[in-house]
A and B are shown apart, each in its own frame.
Chain A
């Protein structure tokens, strides 16, 4: 049984302009101890798809209109807020993009770290503080005793993200959801934080869902990848399989859009023409069809089914027989 399995999740938002569907029936699984990436551009629905797992979608204006989120055999969508609190921060924790806005600026680091441990693990203040010191050491923060008494503004961006990770692992979760955890950080700090997260998940056996737009990050860290476009997962599979022979023209387009250090400098990049659709006015059929060079009439009228390739690799594309390359793009 999978640790987390999302089935046909659908969710939307009521806006002054009418109902906007943000996620249109996505399904994915996370196995224990595995690193799964959800990759997509802004507005693809990757963040709300993860927030829904933790019951973090404000309803209203948000509304989950269908699907199931099974965590360890239980449907989280049926949970009350009270029940969610026993899961959130305890068995599933989250790391956000902006460590400055997700840490409370008026509470000390120590207070923020020990709060969840006292609540969820029932530790005394002394025991929680001792554990906080250990955790800060674990995430590579020097002089942890002093850091506990400091406030978020005393710390650099990289350090704050380390604190967020320490908080995330504090209650020994089995799943961490990290939403663009390094996007706001410098290149060398990004490498430090990602290496730390990878090391911790491997060592502690925690599963990690990493939401990102960076194809390089996915390639370096993820075991499996889900590519999202306009609220749907258009391709999923093992990372090596998806990068070696992508089945969806959007994935191929993304891979051809980025200049790469491992290729000669004069290899031209090939941008995807046009821009993503307005989620309030999704085209019928495949949402990528207006930008797809291989689209045929059927693509514009019928939503493509999931086509299976070898090793559990799938893509939603009518034209995949024509477009899927024999080798990596």
Chain B
């Protein structure tokens, strides 16, 4: 196997067997570890250059931890993060600084992710100052205006404070700040979840336009499957620290393989009363188990409609399920559910 040269790979970001475990400690003086939460437990994922990878799952599934690990905000327990062909853990300080310029983030809450004491201009210019990109104040001001315009805000907003703006405007400021250093890769962690429907649509459109215009690669972390499907080229579904299914978006949503993915899709109501009232809804029973004490075998088996006794002891690997499509469920298609089982098909 030949060493890959940076910039040549089809994948911009690759995660290899990523593990993030949090010890739970007890005791003040003689502190001891009483349990371990495996927030991320063996995740491998490849994000294609110029494409958007969606990461979906319910609270506690580990999707945010993966985003934080990529952003170097969360140390790894094991595994490797490769960015543009290089192992991030092996980068020297200049390499790491370069990495931090090329990888940026947009977070969920535009209220708490902007410093209330800074003007919008200062907020957007901060990365330029920190990385010493544009040393002259005049140049920075021009760049800030350019970024505001790119994100659909008037230049006059540079002198305003976050509290003077609406939620949608604040999220635009957050995006402008993320773009300040011309990044290649942006982690969008629930970036549109806190916004009202009509404003959410504006921000989705902005993210799409910026991606096409600036050739950006996104990791889009979300829980709204309709939004994730719309925005993402590829989608990975997580449950309790593991990826249970990954496929190109069209494939995943038209031919979901894992029973959990099917249940998630079934749970999303479509804004069409005729369609909704004309079909039976199979509601997934039970709740996500505690990550402190996850079930043995397949972590989904206590809620799974097609579980067999073997699922209680066997930890399923991600295995091919058609072209570019992988699922971690040996029972799908093996007598449990066929891929085209009518009861769980989306739509009509």
Residues of chain A in range 247-289 having any CB-CB distance to chain B below 8 Å = 253-262, 265, 269-273, 275-276
A278 to chain B: closest residue by CB: B166
Name the contact of B253 in the complex, choosing from A192, A258, A265 (C-beta under 8 A): A265
Instruction: Indicate if B271 sits at the interface (CB-CB under 8 A).
Output: yes
Residues of chain B in range 161-212 having any CB-CB distance to chain A below 8 Å = 166, 168-169, 196-202, 204-205
Name the contact of A261 in the complex, choosing from B198, B265, B274 (C-beta under 8 A): B265
Chain A residues, Cβ within 8 Å of B276: 216, 219-220
A275:B227 contact, CB within 8 angstroms = no
Instruction: Indicate if B215 sits at the interface (CB-CB under 8 A).
Output: no
B168:A261 contact, CB within 8 angstroms = no
- Sorting the interface of chain A by its residue count into under 10, 10 to 19, 20 to 34 or 35 or more gives 35 or more
User: How many residue pairs bridge A and B at CB < 8 Å?
Assistant: 141
Contact code string B257-289 (vs A, CB < 8 Å = 1, else 0): 000000111111111111111000101110110
Instruction: Indicate if B138 sits at the interface (CB-CB under 8 A).
Output: no
The SS class assigned to the A binding surface is helix
Chain A residues, Cβ within 8 Å of B274: 240, 243-244
Chain A residues, Cβ within 8 Å of B250: 265
B227:A259 contact, CB within 8 angstroms = yes
Q: CA A218 – CA B275 in complex, angstroms?
A: 12
Q: CA A243 – CA B269 in complex, angstroms?
A: 14
Instruction: Indicate if B68 sits at the interface (CB-CB under 8 A).
Output: no
Instruction: Indicate if A217 sits at the interface (CB-CB under 8 A).
Output: yes
Name the contact of B198 in the complex, choosing from A189, A222, A257, A260 (C-beta under 8 A): A257
Contact code string A27-43 (vs B, CB < 8 Å = 1, else 0): 00000000000000110
Instruction: Indicate if B49 sits at the interface (CB-CB under 8 A).
Output: no
Min Cβ gap B187→A in Å is 21
A258:B273 contact, CB within 8 angstroms = no
Contact code string B199-234 (vs A, CB < 8 Å = 1, else 0): 111101100000000000000000101110111000
Given contacts A187-B264, A191-B284, A261-B253, contact A215 B204 (CB under 8 A): no
Chain A residues, Cβ within 8 Å of B65: none
B275:A269 contact, CB within 8 angstroms = no
Instruction: Indicate if B347 sits at the interface (CB-CB under 8 A).
Output: yes
- Interface residue tally for chain B (C-beta within 8 Å): 47
Name the contact of B284 in the complex, choosing from A192, A262, A276 (C-beta under 8 A): A192
Given contacts A191-B283, A257-B201, A275-B168, contact A219 B263 (CB under 8 A): no
Contact code string A181-198 (vs B, CB < 8 Å = 1, else 0): 000001111111001000
Min Cβ gap A150→B in Å is 15
Q: CA A254 – CA B198 in complex, angstroms?
A: 6
Min Cβ gap B87→A in Å is 34
A328:B272 contact, CB within 8 angstroms = yes
Instruction: Please report B residues at the A interface, Cβ cutoff 8 Å.
Output: 58-59, 166, 168-169, 196-202, 204-205, 223, 225-227, 229-231, 249-250, 253, 263-277, 281, 283-285, 287-288, 346-347
